[in-house]
Amino acid sequence: MAKNIFTKGQQVSLQSRVGLSPRTPTEFTVLMRLPDNSGKPQYRIRNEEHGHERVEQGSNLELIETASGK
């Protein structure tokens, strides 16, 4: 898989939390890929537990490995 390319339903975390509130969730689910911003992929992500939704560039997201390795 190409670096920073995620698909709907994957679990991701933020690589950098600079400037974010300490209460900002750490784990998110990818909802959709959005149009690129200056050639960089961006995604709408959501934390279901807190109802927190945001847009992040793919370069700031990291795939969370599950116990099954998927």
Per residue in 7-61, pLDDT (tens digit) is 999 999 999 988 888 888 889 999 999 999 999 999 999 999 999 999 999 999 9
The domain locations on the chain are 11-63
Sheet holding 27-37, edge to edge: 52-57, 40-47, 27-37, 11-14, 61-63
